[in-house]
Amino acid sequence: MPGAERLVGLMSGTSLDGVDAVLVEFRGDAQECIGTHYLPYPDDLKAALLALHARGNDEIDRAAGLANRLADLYADAVAGLLAATGTMPAAVRAVACHGQTVRHVPERGYTVQLNSPARLVEATGIAVVADFRSRDIAAGGQGAPLVPAFHAARFGCADRHRVVLNIGGIANLTDLAPGQPVRGFDTGPGNLLMDAWIRHRRGEAFDRDGKWAAEGCVRDDLLARLLAHPYFAGSPPKSCGREQFHLAWLDGLLAGDEQPADVQATLAALTVASIADAIHRWCGPPDELLVCGGGAHNATIMAGLAARLPGTAVDKTDAAGVPADWVEAIAFAWLGKRTLDGLPGNLPEVTGARGSRVLGVVYPA
């Protein structure tokens, strides 16, 4: 198609489940997702990445080795995507790769997304755009969330107040009120604690459709202790991760008499309550809540959000034309194109940076 160009977007999020790969065609301000591909993380890779979130021995060597291994998996994801779509590498302008976050400490001026972009270029023969968050942090921002700029471009509506909610390991929202500046921030844990608890108690990767949570009863005493975390009371701009919310933190708040299913139900209620409270406090009642990420498939969470937000139509982003599973990967393809075109990718009103910045580093093919 004359005037069109294609980028690959790669996203591996806090849930540590795998790599989402999308092929996106851009023409002017419009974008179309041409194809998708998913590669799950092998169990040993997931365990090694999870272990790296905590301080330990020989971190530099472990991190470097994992970065190379991730780059190889990213390359496999690109190859699978191009094969599925019948696309030659020469037809792709660049691969935009977020990398795998293992530390996010903006208050100390740094964030770490494991990746080896040079290795990825060598494996694919395609230019790579990487390291999207560092420039925003250097400019005094949180470095996250970055997807609100894409949400605004793709889902903004002149006659409807929309909130776009991504429920990955961490949940983040974008407030799109007509005539108002775009707002966005991390609301707190999305699937992260629920995944950790079910893995700890049942050896399962995640609570499919929220069925285990639906079997339990919410413990109001535990929910109150969880919601007392100071992160929830903080004002945007703000972002969070495993540094704040992790299994050891949860264990420290358990009374010891809880049934495992009740804990899962309470963790689902924590996700719902923290999201709904953030919307009420910072966004006002929206007309629509469009949900993406893995949590969009959790029936317990979706029902909870609908109950906590009466008068708001709660649906997946599919209703607005973008499949819920692929929004973030498409967003990073969009951010990669912004980088290549010399255009800013952050929103200072969201991240708290001193101004708009061109994000990312380009590794030419």
Per residue in 280-335, pLDDT (tens digit) is 999 999 999 999 999 999 999 999 999 999 999 999 999 999 999 999 999 999 99
Q: What is the pLDDT of residue 53?
A: 83
Q: What is the pLDDT of residue 57?
A: 86
Per residue in 63-119, pLDDT (tens digit) is 999 999 999 999 999 999 999 999 999 999 999 999 999 999 999 999 999 999 999
Check whether 2 has a pLDDT greater than 80: no
Superfamily of domain 5-143+325-363: ATPase, nucleotide binding domain (3.30.420.40)
Q: Percent of the chain beyond pLDDT 70?
A: 99
DSSP one-letter code for 123: H
Give the residue from 131, 27, 100 showing the smallest Cα distance to 358.
131
Give the residue from 139, 127, 128, 130 showing the smallest Cα distance to 112.
130
At 52, the amino acid letter reads: L
Give the residue from 259, 265, 294, 283 showing the smallest Cα distance to 18.
294
- Is the separation of the CB atoms in 153 and 322 below 8 Å? no
Q: What is the pLDDT of residue 1?
A: 43
- Is the separation of the CB atoms in 291 and 165 below 8 Å? yes
Is 148-320 the same fold as 5-143+325-363? yes
Between 1.10.1740.10, 3.30.420.40, 3.30.70.120, 3.10.110.10, what CATH number should domain 148-320 receive? 3.30.420.40
For residue 15, name the pLDDT band (cuts at 50, 70, 90): confident
Task: Please write down the HEC assignment for all residues of 308-345.
Answer: HCCCCEEEEHHHHCCCHHHHHHHHHHHHHHHHHCCCCC
Pairing relationship of beta strands 128-130 and 92-97 according to DSSP bridges: parallel
Per residue in 160-185, pLDDT (tens digit) is 999 999 999 999 999 999 999 999 99
Q: State the DSSP H helix or E strand holding residue 294, giving kind and residue range, or none if neither.
A: none
Burial class of residue 21, CB neighbours in 10 A (0-12, 13-18, 19+): buried
Average pLDDT for the chain:
96
For residue 29, name the pLDDT band (cuts at 50, 70, 90): confident
Mean pLDDT of 173-200: 97
Mean pLDDT of 31-57: 93
Q: How many residues can be counted in the chain?
A: 365
Q: What is the pLDDT of residue 58?
A: 87
Task: Specify whether the backbone of 144 is left (phi greater than 0), alpha (psi in -120 to 50) or beta.
Answer: beta
Check whether 13 has a pLDDT greater than 80: yes
Check whether 220 has a pLDDT greater than 90: yes
Q: Percent of the chain beyond pLDDT 90?
A: 96
Domain-by-domain residue ranges, the chain? 5-143+325-363, 148-320
For residue 208, name the pLDDT band (cuts at 50, 70, 90): very high
Check whether 203 has a pLDDT greater than 60: yes
Task: Specify whether the backbone of 178 is left (phi greater than 0), alpha (psi in -120 to 50) or beta.
Answer: beta
